[in-house]
């Protein structure tokens, strides 16, 4: 298959491209700079110069391909507009892909997020739709709604569209800017590894190589209009993550009272998300696509030590 990939130089994308090429696909990656173009070529991909602001270019890239994997996101909008601005920028991109692919039955697989299911009292599943976009849903939940609804809606227009909801923590030996590295940096700065309250709130995680294999399977054989969950089998209490980091750094893991003043005091901009409970299931993904997460789990990857080798 000739596959057009955006975000191929990012954390997930740098695993997705080799995964696709190893499976015999021909990849064209979007590059907005010389360094991105060089990185894509080094991975064995062809290069299409352009950026996410160029919707006509994205349409052409999609129309010239047998399928699209969309991983790029406008993280440059985060400081000024937050996650809502990043999501707002996604919508015209998805509609542009829709115009290019309408009626073709070609696959479009886009990155999404596992949000908090709220008080469902059970893990979020692939059958949980994007949440309603009302004011009661904030931040990542509202962002998720906009993008996921747009992508899955394209199934009604003859696009084999689906969303791979990536775990809250995507980890690997090349993870340099994710949640774990932020937690580790915070711990080094504060001299303790904090977790909110009793730390029993569950987080989901996935290895970036397993993310890559799921994108490939969704591209190759995923039915239209579906959500897939790129999460490893076990949901992990945040306290266990803090303890694993603490044992590596030789620092105590301590409870930070879940208090509106105290939590922001330790966690800064992460305060809104660290208290969330994010249990998620991958059962439907595994059963439908035959996907199995086989790479090291989050706790094994922390135990491997590579997150602690620099500084
Ligand atoms: N835990 C997770 O990692 C997680 C969870 C849920 C959802 N997701 C989503 O999964 C997707 C992939 O995440 P990631 O961690 O792999 O991303 P990442 O490492 O931040 O990489 C971002 C990619 O987007 C590209 N990009 C940014 N702005 C662009 C623009 N204006 N034009 C063209 N390309 C642009 C970057 O290219 P350059 O090399 O040119 O900068 C890079 O390839 C994102 O949509 C993210 O929101 C991730």
pLDDT at position 310 = 63
CA–CA distances in Å: residue 214 to residues 104, 136, 152, 174:
22, 31, 17, 19
**Distance between Cα 296 and ligand 1 center (Å):** 22
Residue to mutate, 12, 92, 116, 146, ligand 1, most ligand atoms under 8 Å from C-beta? 12
| Ordered alpha helix ranges (H), 113-236 | 139-153, 179-190, 208-221
pLDDT at position 113 = 86
11 lines ligand 1 (CB under 6 A): yes
Cα torsion 125, 131, 256, 244: sign: positive
Nearest Cα residue to atom 19 of ligand 1: 10
Q: Residue 214 corresponds to which tokens in the numbers above?
A: 């799921």
3-state class of 111 per DSSP?
Answer: strand
Dist CA 65 CA 85 (whole Å)? 28
Nearest Cα residue to atom 18 of ligand 1: 10
pLDDT at position 131 = 62
Residue to mutate, 4, 6, 7, ligand 1, most ligand atoms under 8 Å from C-beta? 7
Phi, psi of 268 (to 5 degrees): 55, -130
pLDDT at position 126 = 93
In 3D, which of 13, 3, 7, 127 has the Cα closest to residue 64?
3
Angle subtended at Cα 17 by Cα 11 and Cα 18, rounded to the nearest 5 degrees: 105
3-state class of 60 per DSSP?
Answer: helix
Q: Residue 96 corresponds to which tokens in the numbers above?
A: 């542009």
pTM score, whole prediction: 0.95
**Distance between Cα 42 and ligand 1 center (Å):** 19
3-state class of 16 per DSSP?
Answer: helix
Nearest Cα residue to atom 7 of ligand 1: 113
Q: Residue 59 corresponds to which tokens in the numbers above?
A: 């349409």
pLDDT at position 215 = 99
Q: Residue 92 corresponds to which tokens in the numbers above?
A: 């015209």
Concatenating the DSSP letter of every residue in 280-311 gives B--HHHHHHH-----SPPHHHHHHH-GGGS--
Q: List per-residue pLDDT tens for the chain, 311 residues long.
A: 999 999 999 999 999 999 999 999 999 999 999 999 999 999 999 999 999 999 999 999 999 999 999 999 999 998 898 878 888 899 999 999 999 999 999 999 999 988 665 556 789 899 987 765 445 555 555 666 778 889 999 999 999 999 999 999 999 999 998 899 999 999 999 999 999 999 999 999 999 999 999 999 999 999 999 999 999 989 999 999 999 999 999 999 999 886 765 666 888 878 878 888 889 999 999 999 999 999 999 999 999 989 998 65
């Amino acid at each position: 298959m000739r596959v057009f990939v955006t975000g191929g130089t990012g954390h997930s994308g740098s695993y997705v491209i080799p995964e696709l090429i190893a499976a015999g696909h021909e990849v064209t990656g979007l590059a907005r700079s010389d360094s991105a173009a060089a990185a894509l070529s080094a991975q064995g991909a062809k290069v299409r110069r352009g950026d996410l602001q160029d919707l006509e270019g994205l349409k052409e890239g999609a129309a010239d391909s047998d399928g699209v994997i969309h991983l790029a996101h406008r993280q440059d909008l985060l400081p000024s507009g937050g996650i809502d601005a990043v999501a707002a920028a996604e919508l015209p991109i998805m509609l542009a892909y829709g115009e290019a692919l309408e009626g073709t039955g070609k696959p479009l697989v886009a990155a999404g997020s596992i949000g908090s299911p709220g008080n469902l009292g059970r893990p979020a599943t692939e059958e949980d739709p994007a949440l309603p976009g009302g004011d009661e849903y904030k931040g990542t939940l509202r962002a998720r709604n906009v993008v996921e609804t747009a992508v899955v809606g394209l199934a009604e227009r003859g696009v084999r569209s689906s969303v791979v909801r990536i775990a809250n923590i995507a980890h690997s030996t090349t993870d340099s800017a994710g949640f774990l590295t932020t937690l580790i940096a915070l711990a080094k700065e504060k001299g303790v590894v904090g977790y909110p309250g009793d730390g029993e709130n569950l987080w989901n995680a996935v290895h970036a190589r397993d993310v890559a294999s799921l994108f490939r399977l969704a591209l190759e054989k995923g039915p239209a209009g579906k959500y897939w969950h790129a999460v490893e089998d076990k949901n992990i209490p945040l306290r266990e993550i803090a303890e694993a980091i603490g044992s590596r750094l030789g620092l105590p893991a301590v409870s930070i009272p879940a208090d509106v003043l105290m939590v922001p005091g330790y966690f800064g901009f992460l305060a809104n998300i660290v208290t969330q409970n994010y249990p998620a299931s991958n059962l439907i993904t595994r059963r439908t696509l035959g996907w199995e997460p086989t790479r090291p789990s989050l706790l094994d990857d922390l135990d491997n030590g590579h997150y602690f080798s620099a500084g």
